[in-house]
Protein backbone atom coordinates (compact mmCIF):
# COMPACT_ATOMS: atom_id res chain seq x y z
CA UNK A 1 0.00 0.00 0.00
CA UNK A 2 2.74 2.38 0.91
CA UNK A 3 4.35 1.86 -2.49
CA UNK A 4 1.15 2.79 -4.21
CA UNK A 5 0.77 5.92 -2.13
CA UNK A 6 4.22 7.05 -3.15
CA UNK A 7 3.35 6.29 -6.74
CA UNK A 8 0.26 8.46 -6.45
CA UNK A 9 2.24 11.35 -5.04
CA UNK A 10 4.82 10.97 -7.76
CA UNK A 11 2.12 11.09 -10.40
CA UNK A 12 1.16 14.61 -9.43
CA UNK A 13 4.63 15.57 -10.44
CA UNK A 14 4.18 14.33 -13.97
CA UNK A 15 3.07 17.70 -15.35
CA UNK A 16 5.97 19.38 -13.59
CA UNK A 17 8.35 16.82 -15.05
CA UNK A 18 6.81 17.44 -18.45
CA UNK A 19 7.32 21.18 -17.98
CA UNK A 20 11.00 20.69 -17.30
CA UNK A 21 11.37 18.25 -20.15
CA UNK A 22 10.04 20.93 -22.49
CA UNK A 23 12.49 23.42 -21.00
CA UNK A 24 15.25 20.92 -21.64
CA UNK A 25 14.37 20.72 -25.31
CA UNK A 26 14.22 24.49 -25.33
CA UNK A 27 17.71 24.51 -23.87
CA UNK A 28 18.90 22.34 -26.74
CA UNK A 29 17.33 24.74 -29.23
CA UNK A 30 19.01 27.68 -27.51
CA UNK A 31 22.34 25.87 -27.54
CA UNK A 32 22.00 25.19 -31.26
CA UNK A 33 21.65 28.92 -31.75
CA UNK A 34 25.00 29.35 -30.06
CA UNK A 35 23.75 30.76 -26.78
CA UNK A 36 24.38 29.37 -23.34
CA UNK A 37 21.14 27.83 -22.03
CA UNK A 38 22.29 28.44 -18.49
CA UNK A 39 22.58 32.17 -18.98
CA UNK A 40 19.34 32.17 -20.94
CA UNK A 41 17.30 30.46 -18.26
CA UNK A 42 18.94 32.53 -15.56
CA UNK A 43 17.66 35.57 -17.40
CA UNK A 44 14.24 33.96 -17.64
CA UNK A 45 14.06 33.51 -13.88
CA UNK A 46 15.34 37.00 -13.28
CA UNK A 47 12.79 38.42 -15.65
CA UNK A 48 9.95 36.66 -13.92
CA UNK A 49 10.92 37.05 -10.28
CA UNK A 50 14.18 38.93 -10.08
CA UNK A 51 12.94 42.26 -8.79
CA UNK A 52 9.83 44.01 -7.53
CA UNK A 53 9.20 45.30 -11.04
CA UNK A 54 9.66 41.85 -12.50
CA UNK A 55 7.22 40.26 -10.08
CA UNK A 56 4.77 43.07 -10.74
CA UNK A 57 5.10 42.50 -14.48
CA UNK A 58 4.52 38.80 -13.98
CA UNK A 59 1.39 39.37 -11.97
CA UNK A 60 0.10 42.02 -14.34
CA UNK A 61 0.61 39.62 -17.23
CA UNK A 62 -1.09 36.83 -15.29
CA UNK A 63 -4.22 38.81 -14.48
CA UNK A 64 -5.99 38.66 -17.87
CA UNK A 65 -4.90 35.03 -18.14
CA UNK A 66 -6.68 34.36 -14.88
CA UNK A 67 -9.89 36.00 -16.06
CA UNK A 68 -9.86 34.11 -19.33
CA UNK A 69 -8.89 30.94 -17.52
CA UNK A 70 -11.81 31.27 -15.14
CA UNK A 71 -14.13 31.72 -18.09
CA UNK A 72 -12.70 28.63 -19.73
CA UNK A 73 -13.13 26.70 -16.48
CA UNK A 74 -16.84 27.34 -16.38
CA UNK A 75 -17.31 26.54 -20.05
CA UNK A 76 -15.20 23.42 -19.91
CA UNK A 77 -17.01 22.12 -16.86
CA UNK A 78 -20.16 22.21 -18.95
CA UNK A 79 -18.39 20.46 -21.78
CA UNK A 80 -18.06 23.42 -24.15
CA UNK A 81 -14.86 24.87 -25.52
CA UNK A 82 -14.81 28.65 -25.63
CA UNK A 83 -12.21 29.80 -28.14
CA UNK A 84 -13.84 33.19 -28.54
CA UNK A 85 -11.70 34.68 -25.80
CA UNK A 86 -10.01 37.16 -28.10
CA UNK A 87 -13.30 38.62 -29.26
CA UNK A 88 -14.81 38.66 -25.78
CA UNK A 89 -11.77 40.46 -24.39
CA UNK A 90 -12.19 43.10 -27.09
CA UNK A 91 -15.91 43.40 -26.41
CA UNK A 92 -15.29 43.95 -22.73
CA UNK A 93 -12.40 46.35 -23.23
CA UNK A 94 -14.13 48.40 -25.92
CA UNK A 95 -17.37 48.82 -24.02
CA UNK A 96 -15.60 49.82 -20.83
CA UNK A 97 -13.53 52.36 -22.75
CA UNK A 98 -16.55 53.82 -24.52
CA UNK A 99 -18.33 54.22 -21.19
CA UNK A 100 -15.37 56.02 -19.65
CA UNK A 101 -14.91 58.26 -22.68
CA UNK A 102 -18.55 59.30 -22.72
CA UNK A 103 -19.12 60.07 -19.06
CA UNK A 104 -16.04 61.98 -18.00
CA UNK A 105 -17.84 63.94 -15.38
CA UNK A 106 -18.91 61.13 -13.12
CA UNK A 107 -16.80 60.48 -10.04
CA UNK A 108 -13.99 58.07 -10.75
CA UNK A 109 -14.99 55.15 -8.61
CA UNK A 110 -18.59 55.15 -9.85
CA UNK A 111 -17.36 55.21 -13.42
CA UNK A 112 -14.97 52.35 -12.72
CA UNK A 113 -17.72 50.18 -11.34
CA UNK A 114 -20.05 51.00 -14.21
CA UNK A 115 -17.32 50.42 -16.79
CA UNK A 116 -16.34 47.06 -15.29
CA UNK A 117 -19.94 46.01 -15.16
CA UNK A 118 -20.48 47.04 -18.76
CA UNK A 119 -17.37 45.09 -19.75
CA UNK A 120 -18.71 42.06 -17.91
CA UNK A 121 -22.04 42.46 -19.68
CA UNK A 122 -20.63 42.96 -23.16
CA UNK A 123 -18.36 39.95 -22.83
CA UNK A 124 -21.44 37.99 -21.85
CA UNK A 125 -23.35 39.33 -24.84
CA UNK A 126 -20.53 38.54 -27.24
CA UNK A 127 -20.38 34.98 -26.01
CA UNK A 128 -24.13 34.96 -25.80
CA UNK A 129 -24.38 35.51 -29.53
CA UNK A 130 -22.52 32.26 -30.04
CA UNK A 131 -24.65 30.56 -27.40
CA UNK A 132 -27.84 31.85 -28.94
CA UNK A 133 -26.79 30.73 -32.40
CA UNK A 134 -26.02 27.30 -31.04
CA UNK A 135 -29.23 26.90 -29.09
CA UNK A 136 -31.65 28.17 -31.72
CA UNK A 137 -29.88 27.67 -35.00
CA UNK A 138 -27.56 24.82 -34.24
CA UNK A 139 -24.54 26.81 -35.35
CA UNK A 140 -21.47 25.10 -33.93
CA UNK A 141 -19.86 27.26 -31.27
CA UNK A 142 -16.32 26.68 -32.48
CA UNK A 143 -17.27 28.15 -35.83
CA UNK A 144 -19.23 31.06 -34.41
CA UNK A 145 -16.64 32.04 -31.81
CA UNK A 146 -13.81 31.98 -34.35
CA UNK A 147 -15.84 34.16 -36.69
CA UNK A 148 -16.87 36.45 -33.86
CA UNK A 149 -13.21 36.95 -32.95
CA UNK A 150 -12.58 38.47 -36.34
CA UNK A 151 -15.79 40.48 -36.34
CA UNK A 152 -14.83 41.98 -32.97
CA UNK A 153 -11.34 42.84 -34.21
CA UNK A 154 -12.63 44.58 -37.32
CA UNK A 155 -15.29 46.37 -35.32
CA UNK A 156 -12.60 47.63 -33.02
CA UNK A 157 -10.52 48.73 -36.02
CA UNK A 158 -13.46 50.70 -37.31
CA UNK A 159 -14.12 52.45 -34.04
CA UNK A 160 -10.46 53.23 -33.46
CA UNK A 161 -9.99 54.60 -36.95
CA UNK A 162 -12.71 57.17 -36.60
CA UNK A 163 -15.50 57.43 -34.06
CA UNK A 164 -13.39 57.03 -30.93
CA UNK A 165 -9.95 57.83 -32.21
CA UNK A 166 -7.82 59.99 -29.97
CA UNK A 167 -8.51 63.61 -30.94
CA UNK A 168 -4.85 64.30 -30.29
CA UNK A 169 -3.95 61.87 -33.05
CA UNK A 170 -6.20 63.62 -35.50
CA UNK A 171 -4.73 66.96 -34.53
CA UNK A 172 -1.16 65.74 -34.91
CA UNK A 173 -2.00 64.07 -38.17
CA UNK A 174 -0.52 60.74 -37.18
CA UNK A 175 -3.82 58.81 -37.04
CA UNK A 176 -2.58 56.03 -34.80
CA UNK A 177 -5.49 53.66 -34.16
CA UNK A 178 -5.96 54.28 -30.47
CA UNK A 179 -8.32 56.12 -28.17
CA UNK A 180 -7.47 59.04 -25.97
CA UNK A 181 -5.88 58.16 -22.69
CA UNK A 182 -8.66 57.74 -20.17
CA UNK A 183 -8.72 60.21 -17.34
CA UNK A 184 -6.66 59.31 -14.33
CA UNK A 185 -9.86 59.19 -12.33
CA UNK A 186 -10.63 55.79 -13.76
CA UNK A 187 -7.19 54.32 -13.29
CA UNK A 188 -7.41 51.30 -11.09
CA UNK A 189 -5.47 52.00 -7.91
CA UNK A 190 -1.95 50.66 -7.80
CA UNK A 191 -1.18 48.21 -5.05
CA UNK A 192 2.49 49.02 -4.68
CA UNK A 193 4.48 51.58 -6.60
CA UNK A 194 4.88 49.38 -9.67
CA UNK A 195 2.52 48.41 -12.44
CA UNK A 196 0.66 46.08 -10.12
CA UNK A 197 -2.94 47.14 -9.98
CA UNK A 198 -6.15 46.47 -8.15
CA UNK A 199 -7.50 44.34 -10.96
CA UNK A 200 -5.46 41.42 -9.71
CA UNK A 201 -7.39 41.43 -6.45
CA UNK A 202 -10.63 41.49 -8.43
CA UNK A 203 -9.43 38.50 -10.39
CA UNK A 204 -8.62 36.48 -7.29
CA UNK A 205 -11.95 37.41 -5.75
CA UNK A 206 -13.72 36.19 -8.84
CA UNK A 207 -11.73 32.98 -8.77
CA UNK A 208 -13.18 32.32 -5.34
CA UNK A 209 -16.63 33.34 -6.54
CA UNK A 210 -16.40 30.97 -9.47
CA UNK A 211 -15.38 28.18 -7.14
CA UNK A 212 -18.33 28.87 -4.90
CA UNK A 213 -20.59 29.07 -7.91
CA UNK A 214 -19.46 25.77 -9.38
CA UNK A 215 -19.28 23.75 -6.18
CA UNK A 216 -21.79 25.36 -3.86
CA UNK A 217 -24.74 26.31 -5.98
CA UNK A 218 -27.34 24.21 -7.72
CA UNK A 219 -26.69 25.81 -11.09
CA UNK A 220 -23.00 25.18 -10.74
CA UNK A 221 -23.62 21.60 -9.77
CA UNK A 222 -25.78 21.07 -12.81
CA UNK A 223 -23.18 22.62 -15.07
CA UNK A 224 -20.55 20.27 -13.74
CA UNK A 225 -22.83 17.32 -14.06
CA UNK A 226 -23.50 18.12 -17.70
CA UNK A 227 -19.80 18.20 -18.33
CA UNK A 228 -19.22 14.87 -16.63
CA UNK A 229 -22.19 12.85 -17.80
CA UNK A 230 -24.47 14.39 -20.35
CA UNK A 231 -26.79 11.38 -20.59
CA UNK A 232 -27.36 11.17 -16.87
CA UNK A 233 -28.03 14.90 -16.74
CA UNK A 234 -30.66 14.63 -19.44
CA UNK A 235 -32.13 11.63 -17.70
CA UNK A 236 -32.50 13.56 -14.49
CA UNK A 237 -34.44 16.23 -16.30
CA UNK A 238 -31.86 18.97 -16.59
CA UNK A 239 -32.29 21.22 -19.62
CA UNK A 240 -28.80 20.54 -20.94
CA UNK A 241 -29.06 23.06 -23.77
CA UNK A 242 -30.03 25.89 -21.47
CA UNK A 243 -27.22 25.26 -19.02
CA UNK A 244 -24.60 24.92 -21.73
CA UNK A 245 -25.62 28.29 -23.13
CA UNK A 246 -25.57 29.74 -19.63
CA UNK A 247 -22.09 28.40 -19.04
CA UNK A 248 -21.00 29.94 -22.31
CA UNK A 249 -22.46 33.31 -21.40
CA UNK A 250 -20.85 33.31 -17.97
CA UNK A 251 -17.59 32.31 -19.58
CA UNK A 252 -17.74 35.31 -21.89
CA UNK A 253 -18.72 37.57 -19.03
CA UNK A 254 -15.59 36.75 -17.07
CA UNK A 255 -13.42 37.22 -20.13
CA UNK A 256 -15.10 40.54 -20.91
CA UNK A 257 -14.48 41.70 -17.36
CA UNK A 258 -10.83 40.75 -17.84
CA UNK A 259 -10.69 42.91 -20.95
CA UNK A 260 -12.22 45.86 -19.11
CA UNK A 261 -9.71 45.50 -16.31
CA UNK A 262 -6.84 45.40 -18.78
CA UNK A 263 -7.94 48.80 -20.03
CA UNK A 264 -8.55 50.41 -16.67
CA UNK A 265 -5.61 48.89 -14.90
CA UNK A 266 -2.83 48.56 -17.43
CA UNK A 267 -3.23 50.41 -20.70
CA UNK A 268 -5.71 53.18 -19.87
CA UNK A 269 -6.75 53.27 -23.52
CA UNK A 270 -7.42 50.92 -26.39
CA UNK A 271 -5.12 50.49 -29.35
CA UNK A 272 -4.62 47.91 -32.05
CA UNK A 273 -2.42 46.93 -34.93
CA UNK A 274 -5.33 45.66 -36.95
CA UNK A 275 -4.97 42.00 -36.14
CA UNK A 276 -7.21 39.87 -33.94
CA UNK A 277 -4.69 39.89 -31.12
CA UNK A 278 -3.57 43.47 -31.66
CA UNK A 279 -4.87 44.56 -28.28
CA UNK A 280 -5.18 41.30 -26.40
CA UNK A 281 -1.73 39.90 -27.05
CA UNK A 282 -3.28 36.44 -27.48
CA UNK A 283 -4.47 36.39 -23.88
CA UNK A 284 -7.59 34.69 -25.17
CA UNK A 285 -5.54 31.67 -26.18
CA UNK A 286 -3.00 31.73 -23.40
CA UNK A 287 -5.84 31.83 -20.89
CA UNK A 288 -7.06 28.50 -22.22
CA UNK A 289 -3.63 27.08 -21.50
CA UNK A 290 -3.73 28.58 -18.01
CA UNK A 291 -7.06 26.90 -17.33
CA UNK A 292 -5.64 23.56 -18.34
CA UNK A 293 -2.54 23.98 -16.21
CA UNK A 294 -4.89 24.75 -13.35
CA UNK A 295 -6.69 21.44 -13.87
CA UNK A 296 -9.77 23.38 -14.94
CA UNK A 297 -10.33 24.34 -11.34
CA UNK A 298 -10.87 28.02 -10.57
CA UNK A 299 -8.55 28.02 -7.58
CA UNK A 300 -5.95 26.03 -9.45
CA UNK A 301 -6.06 28.55 -12.26
CA UNK A 302 -4.56 31.17 -9.95
CA UNK A 303 -1.10 29.59 -9.63
CA UNK A 304 -1.40 28.36 -13.21
CA UNK A 305 -1.87 31.85 -14.64
CA UNK A 306 0.92 33.06 -12.40
CA UNK A 307 3.20 30.38 -13.78
CA UNK A 308 2.25 31.16 -17.35
CA UNK A 309 2.60 34.89 -16.72
CA UNK A 310 6.04 34.24 -15.24
CA UNK A 311 7.00 32.15 -18.24
CA UNK A 312 5.92 34.78 -20.73
CA UNK A 313 7.45 37.69 -18.80
CA UNK A 314 10.66 35.84 -18.11
CA UNK A 315 10.95 34.70 -21.70
CA UNK A 316 10.84 38.31 -22.86
CA UNK A 317 13.65 39.15 -20.47
CA UNK A 318 15.57 36.16 -21.75
CA UNK A 319 15.18 37.47 -25.28
CA UNK A 320 16.56 40.84 -24.25
CA UNK A 321 19.54 39.52 -22.34
CA UNK A 322 20.84 36.83 -24.69
CA UNK A 323 19.27 38.33 -27.83
CA UNK A 324 17.65 35.08 -28.82
CA UNK A 325 15.11 35.46 -31.65
CA UNK A 326 11.67 36.28 -30.29
CA UNK A 327 10.23 33.41 -32.31
CA UNK A 328 12.06 30.99 -30.03
CA UNK A 329 9.87 32.13 -27.18
CA UNK A 330 6.76 31.19 -29.09
CA UNK A 331 8.20 27.81 -29.96
CA UNK A 332 9.18 27.24 -26.34
CA UNK A 333 5.72 28.29 -25.17
CA UNK A 334 4.11 25.85 -27.57
CA UNK A 335 6.44 23.05 -26.51
CA UNK A 336 5.58 23.54 -22.87
CA UNK A 337 1.87 23.44 -23.63
CA UNK A 338 2.27 20.27 -25.67
CA UNK A 339 4.31 18.49 -23.03
CA UNK A 340 2.11 19.46 -20.12
CA UNK A 341 -1.08 18.72 -22.04
CA UNK A 342 0.34 15.41 -23.12
CA UNK A 343 1.22 14.46 -19.59
CA UNK A 344 -2.02 15.64 -18.00
CA UNK A 345 -4.35 12.99 -19.17
CA UNK A 346 -1.67 10.39 -18.76
CA UNK A 347 -1.47 11.34 -15.13
CA UNK A 348 -5.21 11.13 -14.68
CA UNK A 349 -5.24 7.91 -16.63
CA UNK A 350 -2.59 6.45 -14.36
CA UNK A 351 -4.45 7.68 -11.30
CA UNK A 352 -7.57 5.91 -12.46
CA UNK A 353 -5.57 2.79 -13.14
CA UNK A 354 -4.22 2.87 -9.63
CA UNK A 355 -7.72 3.42 -8.27
CA UNK A 356 -9.04 0.50 -10.24
CA UNK A 357 -6.24 -1.70 -9.01
CA UNK A 358 -6.92 -0.60 -5.47
CA UNK A 359 -10.62 -1.37 -5.90
CA UNK A 360 -9.83 -4.86 -7.04
CA UNK A 361 -7.45 -5.29 -4.16
CA UNK A 362 -10.04 -4.13 -1.67
CA UNK A 363 -12.56 -6.44 -3.23
CA UNK A 364 -10.15 -9.33 -2.93
CA UNK A 365 -9.48 -8.43 0.65
CA UNK A 366 -13.15 -8.42 1.45
CA UNK A 367 -13.65 -11.73 -0.23
CA UNK A 368 -10.78 -13.27 1.65
CA UNK A 369 -12.09 -12.22 4.99
For another protein, the closer CB: 57 or 120: 57
Q: What is residue 238's three-state secondary structure?
A: coil
CB of 364: closest distance to another protein in angstroms?
A: 19
Angle between helices 218-228 and 52-77 (to 10 degrees): 80
The burial class, CB within 10 Å (0-12 / 13-18 / 19+), for 360 is exposed
From 41, 267, 303, 354, residue interacting with another protein (rule: CB under 8 A)? 267
Residue 357 makes contact with another protein by CB under 8 A: no
What is the distance, to the nearest Å, from the Cα of residue 303 to the centroid of all Cα atoms in its chain? 12
Residue 255 makes contact with another protein by CB under 8 A: no
Q: Which long-range contacts (CB under 8 A, 24 or more apart) does 97-100 make?
A: 97/164, 97/179, 97/182, 97/263, 97/269, 97/270, 98/159, 98/164, 100/182, 100/183, 100/186, 100/264
Residue 1 makes contact with another protein by CB under 8 A: no
CA 190 to each of CA 97, 120, 121: distance values in angstroms, whole numbers, following the listed order: 19, 21, 25
For another protein, the closer CB: 16 or 172: 172
* Contact region with another protein (CB under 8 A), list: 207-215, 269-277, 301-309, 358-366: 269-277
For another protein, the closer CB: 46 or 106: 46
From 13, 20, 103, 150, residue interacting with another protein (rule: CB under 8 A)? 150
- In angstroms, how far is the first alpha carbon of the chain from the final one? 18
Do the Cβ atoms of 77 and 227 come closer than 8 Å? Answer: yes
For another protein, the closer CB: 192 or 208: 192
Residue 344 makes contact with another protein by CB under 8 A: yes
For another protein, the closer CB: 218 or 309: 309
Among 15, 85, 10, 115, smallest CA distance to 288 is for: 85
From 269, 304, 308, 310, residue interacting with another protein (rule: CB under 8 A)? 269
Residue 266 makes contact with another protein by CB under 8 A: yes
In the 8-state DSSP scheme, what is residue 185?
Answer: G
From 325, 357, 358, 360, residue interacting with another protein (rule: CB under 8 A)? 325
Residue 345 makes contact with another protein by CB under 8 A: yes
From 154, 208, 212, 242, residue interacting with another protein (rule: CB under 8 A)? 154
Residues 357 and 352: their CA atoms lie apart, in Å, by 8
Residue 288 makes contact with another protein by CB under 8 A: yes
Site for another protein in 156-175 (CB under 8 A): 157-158, 161-162, 172, 174-175
Residues 202 and 206: their CA atoms lie apart, in Å, by 6
From 104, 167, 189, 334, residue interacting with another protein (rule: CB under 8 A)? 334
CB of 304: closest distance to another protein in angstroms?
A: 12
Residue 328 makes contact with another protein by CB under 8 A: yes
In the 8-state DSSP scheme, what is residue 106?
Answer: S
Amino acid sequence: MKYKNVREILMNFIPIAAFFLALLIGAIMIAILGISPLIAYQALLKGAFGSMNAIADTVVKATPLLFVGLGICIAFRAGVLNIGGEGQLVAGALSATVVCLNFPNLPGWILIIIALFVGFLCGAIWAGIAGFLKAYFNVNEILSTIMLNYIAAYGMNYLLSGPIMDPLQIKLGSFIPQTARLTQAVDLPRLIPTRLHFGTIVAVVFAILVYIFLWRTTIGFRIRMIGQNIQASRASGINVQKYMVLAFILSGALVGLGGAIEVLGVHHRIFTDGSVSGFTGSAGFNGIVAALFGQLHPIGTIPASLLLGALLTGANKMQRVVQVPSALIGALNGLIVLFVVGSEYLRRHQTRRVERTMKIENKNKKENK
